[in-house]
Amino acid sequence: MFDIFKSMIKEEWRMHSSLFGHSGFALFPVFIFLFTFFVSLVLPVFREIVTDAQIALGMHYLFLLVGGMVGAFGLMGREFMNRRFGQASLIAYSSRVLPVSERFIFANFLGKDIVYYFGLYILPFVAGFAFAVKFVPAGNLGALSTLLTLLLTLSISFMIGISAVFFLSTVYAHSGRVSLFCLFAASLLLLHISGNLDQGTLYSLPSLSFFLAPSENQLLLSGVLILAPSALSLIFLKIEFPQAQRSFSNSFSKLCGYLGPYRYAAFVAKDSLDLKRSEGGLGKIIFSFVLPLLLVWTLLSALGRVMPAMSTLTLFALVLGVLSSSMYNWLTEYDIFSSYAFLPLKVSDMIKSKLNSYFILNLIPLIILTTLALKKDPSSLVPSLLLFLTISLYMVSVLVYLTGLSPSINLYNGKTFALYTFSVMPLLLLNIILSMFGPYYALVDLLLVPVALYLLLKGFRKWDCNECRCF
């Protein structure tokens, strides 16, 4: 077992380093360490606004979501491997030629993900926090026993997230319709309970409860939430994805006809068909965007009762603008410029076409925000919409300038990710502070529009001059 596990660790590292560059990828955990360190230096300021328990809450839910993102391998990983590494064969897909069972290999695969991303995310995060508390007063958070407990409980939160999504990916392998129904039901449930969720419910996450008040029961419950979904996933494991022969009518021409003489009609139509026919389809939108968005709304609704000074709707519009930028990643994730290199097109033409599709997709978060604003606080509708639109435009302009047509790949470069973080984090913190003074302070973000347009124009020139990297 150890030989396969060790080989999988090496395989993961070599795959990432070949994509992002050895030094660039190696700097990624270093950046996480430094970023956590510098943010933790202002911990005394944060503690004037929020309690230690609320800081711990944010940390644990952050790594719960990170675990969910890593566990999404089963939903999107097969398509990514086919399109990016068609010539490669991962160990996880080699059970037919190895003298070991499929369950044994995927048990190692799950263990590999936990250990690998523990070293990539969790360890540098806690190390940066631990190093910072030596320079600033951190109260109980700075005690060695507390830091070790934090390392344990953040790992548990991460494993709960990865095991839950690993189980969901197994359900998806057996029936895409059932998994879509589960996601849709979970979305409706989160929307329903967001208005009735109290502070105590947020702190019922077993890993967080154990950190705040260690008990054997919470540790046992955490183990159940990790082991039960993982065991069910391995028992009902299915790595064969039989595809029925399918044929499609000429939807491309029909979509182009709907869009008329629009300059980027053909590109937008192709993006639409790619998104529809890609692995996950509608489930990708629900799983990668709507479900996390409703979870954020649920958490902010509960925090709004604890911290009434903060505008829930304004903060949600801010988060919505950040999350909507991930849709640019969807549009560029599997489409590479080499497929168009024989056409009289520049890289900037491709980027502009993706931006057109991106702005059309932004109708989804726009409808969600409008619905929630009319339900919760109609008076904040206009500033919330302006905040969302300006933040979304600014975020995607930064992505275009720094990453071009490969945001999913280039952001794992330590230097690029550092530039991206320092381009957006001060802005997000400023907006969080301004939200305490009322929703109309969000109008200040209109100043970002000329900045975003400047970055887009500069990004177009940059990627036209640079040789396009084709993966």
How far, CA to CA in Å, does 377 sit from each of 24, 314, 336? 45, 10, 43
> Rounded CA gap, 365 and 21, in Å?
34
**Of residues 91, 104, 90, 235, the one with CA closest to residue 171:** 235
Q: Are residues 188 and 313 in the same domain?
A: no
Last residue within a domain, chosen from 185, 220, 241 = 241
- Domain contains 248: no
Burial of 468 (0-12, 13-18, 19+ CB in 10 A): middle
Contact present, 358 and 396 (Cβ < 8 Å): yes
Same domain, 236 and 336: no
Co-location of 264 and 219 in the same domain: no
Give the per-residue pLDDT at 184. Answer: 66
Distances (CA, A) of 284 to 75, 252, 280: 8, 21, 5
Q: How far apart are CA 70 and CA 133, in angstroms?
A: 29
Give the distance from CA 466 to its chain's centroid. 28
Residue type, 31: F
115 and 84, same domain (yes or no): yes
Residue 222 belongs to domain spanning? 1-241
pLDDT for residue 153: 93
| 211 Cβ contact list (under 8 Å, min separation 6) | 56, 60, 149, 150, 153
Q: How many domains does the chain have?
A: 2
pLDDT score of 470: 45
- In DSSP notation, 66-131 reads HHHHHTTIIIIIHHHHHHH-TT---GGG-TTTSSS-HHHHHHHHHHHHHHHHIIIIIHHHHHHHHH
Q: Are residues 157 and 95 in the same domain?
A: yes
169 and 237 belong to one structural domain: yes
- Among residues 190, 214, 241, which one ends one of the domains? 241
| Of 427, 430, 370, 367, residue with least CA distance to 397 | 427
219, part of any domain? yes
Q: How many residues does the chain have?
A: 471
Degrees, nearest 5: CA angle 448-372-306: 85
pLDDT tens digits, residue range 51-81? 778 788 888 888 888 887 776 654 454 554 4
- Report the pLDDT value the prediction gives residue 139, as an integer from 0 to 100: 63
Taken in order 323, 327, 328, 333, the sign of the CA dihedral is: positive
Do 9 and 66 lie in a common domain? yes
Q: Is residue 246 part of a domain?
A: no
Residue 247 within any structural domain of the chain: no
The single residue listed with the structure tokens 């700097």 is 27
Residue at 301 is within a domain: yes
Give the pLDDT score at 87: 46
Q: What pLDDT sits at residue 186? A: 66
- Cα separation, 470 vs 68, in Å, equals 29
Residue 242 corresponds to which tokens in the numbers above? 């039989």
At position 46, the amino acid (one-letter code) is F
Does 42 lie in the same domain as 9? yes
Under a CB-based contact definition with an 8 Å cutoff, are residues 417 and 31 in contact?
Answer: yes
Angle at 19 between CA 18 and CA 24, to 5 degrees: 85
> Is residue 194 domain-shared with residue 264, that is, in the same domain?
no
Do 223 and 269 belong to one domain? no
Tally Cβ neighbours within 10 Å of residue 30.
Answer: 13
Residue 34 lies in a domain: yes
Q: Are 34 and 132 in contact (CB under 8 A)?
A: no
pLDDT at 155: 92
Q: Is residue 58 a part of any domain in this protein?
A: yes
- Which residue type, as a one-letter code, is found at position 331? L
With a cut of 70, list the residues of the chain below it in pLDDT.
1, 16-25, 49, 71-98, 138-142, 173, 175-177, 179-180, 183-184, 186-201, 238-249, 277-292, 295, 299, 301-310, 334-339, 467-471
Instruction: List, for residues 243-272, the tens digit of each pLDDT value.
Output: 555 566 677 777 777 777 777 788 888 877
Q: Say how far apart CA 404 and CA 421 lie, in whole Å.
A: 16
Q: Is residue 106 part of a domain?
A: yes
Number of H helices, E strands in the chain: 24, 0
The model's pLDDT over 439-466, given as tens digits with 9 standing for 90+, comes to 778 788 888 999 999 999 999 998 888 7
Q: Report whether 211 contacts 150 (CB < 8 A).
A: yes
Return the pLDDT at 167: 82
- 355 and 431 assigned to the same domain: yes
pLDDT for position 189 = 63
Q: What is the reported pLDDT for 90? A: 64
- Domain end position, chosen among 219, 241, 263: 241
Q: How far apart are CA 363 and CA 359, in angstroms?
A: 7
Consecutive H or E run containing 464: helix 448-465
The residue among 158, 75, 172 whose CA lies nearest residue 119 is: 158
Asked whether residue 78 falls in the same domain as residue 142, the answer is yes
